[in-house]
Amino acid sequence: MKITRINVRNLLIPLKVPYALQKSYGVKSHTCCVLVAVHTDEGIVGYGECNPQPGFTDESAETAKSVIGKILAPAIIGMDPTDVAAIDRRMDIVCKNNNLPKAAVNTACYDIAGKAAGVPVYKLLGGKLQSSIPIMHAIGNISAEEGAKLVLQRKNEGYRSVMVKCGMESVEYDAERIFAIQDAVGKDYPLVVDVNQGWDYHKALRFLRLTEGCNIVCLEQPVPHWDIESLIRLKAASDVPISADESVFSIHEAVQVIENRAVDIISLKVNKHGGILKEKQIAVLAQYAGIKLLMNSMLEEGLAQAASLQIGVTLPNLVDFGSAYFSPLRLDDDITTYSEQVRNGWVHINDRPGLGVEIREDVVQKYLQDEFWAEA
């Protein structure tokens, strides 16, 4: 089988409710989805997506589209898409970094490989260890009162835990929000705190001391991505498990935090690691280092979520407080059928070939900004 041409479409999809992150990330009202379709000479089409967020990622939707259309596509057209390792190596040779556009292409190639073999992608990754995964929901930097109400609602809807975004105001303000939420939902309900690099070591330590006794099951990326030393010191200073998100994009960064025993948890996102194969490789490194995995998400649609689910069901070391499999539900609409797999706070894998989801073309058309064809 050979890749014949690649279609890249940029979509702009509103969030149902704007999502406030820490100060420098600001308030997100849309996601920019770069939708990739890889076509083959056997008529099989594979789909992938990436969702650049400049500030979090190196890429923007414009650079991702350009890298796929002008650099990656010309390099891999003519190759067999089911040779995903060879495709990854070729993309790494012709273009440094740019994990997001590479992830979209890699995911599409896995979709083709699964469809060609008539099996779900998880079968190509060693097979599944579970069929369903509990979901952690998330709230933005909203007030203590609003946050308490919303987290209680998520708990009642069946979600296993909620991630609370922090870092917009002072540490004391965030600690008050956590106490208000815990009062509303009870002390047995797990909370995840994500700071998106918003603090330094001293602020993070102060927050941990102020919230001692709360059921915080994970403190994610409290300090800048490069500050591995502070992650190590925080892990030593507190019983609250520390998670790396922005600190781990590449496999080399994963090796660095694992070798330094810097964290208890790594947050995985198929987009930021450059696709399914590299994410699985990071997952295996973490597994044998005794590190847990949180299947996390960007503001992404059903293709990236489906890819994440195909990997998630193969992993033995997921956190027990749930993973982020709700992303399309907070967007205006799902461009795929993925959302059907989310029920009562759980996501369920299906046994359809490839990523297991269909594209909803009418929905794609609604958000389409522009498109590009790369051909031989």
127 vs 107: CA distance, rounded Å: 17
Number of H helices, E strands in the chain: 14, 14
Which residues 6+ apart lie within 8 Å of 114 measured at CB?
120, 121, 123, 124, 353, 354, 355
345 vs 327: CA distance, rounded Å: 13
Beta carbon nearer to Mg ion, 113 or 265: 265
Beta carbon nearer to Mg ion, 124 or 266: 266
Tell me: does residue 300 bind Mg ion (CB under 5 A): no
Beta carbon nearer to Mg ion, 72 or 163: 163
Q: Compute the least distance from the CB of residue 167 to Mg ion, in Å.
A: 11
Beta carbon nearer to Mg ion, 194 or 279: 194
Q: How far is CA 43 from CA 5, 14, 37, 345, in A?
A: 11, 32, 12, 37
Beta carbon nearer to Mg ion, 194 or 300: 194
Q: Which residue is nearest to Mg ion (CB)?
A: 245
Q: How far is CA 85 from CA 76, 109, 180, 295, 315, in A?
A: 12, 10, 48, 22, 20
Q: Compute the least distance from the CB of residue 261 to Mg ion, in Å.
A: 20
Q: Compute the least distance from the CB of residue 66 to Mg ion, in Å.
A: 27
SS3 at position 227: coil
The answer to whether 254 touches 282, Cβ cutoff 8 Å, is yes
250 vs 271: CA distance, rounded Å: 11
Helix or strand run (H / E) with residue 321? none
Q: Compute the least distance from the CB of residue 265 to Mg ion, in Å.
A: 11
Beta carbon nearer to Mg ion, 174 or 220: 220
Beta carbon nearer to Mg ion, 163 or 374: 163
Of 245, 279, 300, 334, the residue at the interface with Mg ion (CB under 5 A) is 245
Q: How far is CA 372 from CA 10, 367, 369, in A?
A: 9, 15, 11
SS3 at position 369: strand
Which parts of 189-336 are beta strand (E)?
Answer: 191-194, 216-220, 242-244, 265-268, 292-295
With CB under 5 A as the contact rule, which of the stretches 33-41, 182-190, 242-250, 353-361 interacts with Mg ion? 242-250
Q: Compute the least distance from the CB of residue 90 to Mg ion, in Å.
A: 30
With CB under 5 A as the contact rule, which of the stretches 19-27, 121-129, 186-194, 335-343 interacts with Mg ion? 186-194
Q: Residue holding tokens 């590299």? A: 278
With CB under 5 A as the contact rule, which of the stretches 35-43, 239-247, 249-257, 324-332 interacts with Mg ion? 239-247
Residues 191-210 that bind Mg ion (CB under 5 A): 194
Q: Compute the least distance from the CB of residue 116 to Mg ion, in Å.
A: 34
Q: How many residues bind Mg ion (CB under 5 A)?
A: 3
With CB under 5 A as the contact rule, which of the stretches 62-70, 182-190, 237-245, 275-283 interacts with Mg ion? 237-245
Beta carbon nearer to Mg ion, 7 or 22: 22
Q: Residue holding tokens 């994440």? A: 308
Beta carbon nearer to Mg ion, 82 or 99: 99
Residues 207-236 that bind Mg ion (CB under 5 A): 220
Q: Which tokens belong to 64? A: 């991702």
Q: Which tokens belong to 259? A: 């070798």
Q: Compute the least distance from the CB of residue 317 to Mg ion, in Å.
A: 18
Helix axes 84-94, 276-288, angle to 10 degrees: 100
Q: Compute the least distance from the CB of residue 218 to Mg ion, in Å.
A: 10
With CB under 5 A as the contact rule, which of the stretches 90-98, 227-235, 241-249, 351-359 interacts with Mg ion? 241-249
- Return residues touching Mg ion (CB under 5 A): 194, 220, 245
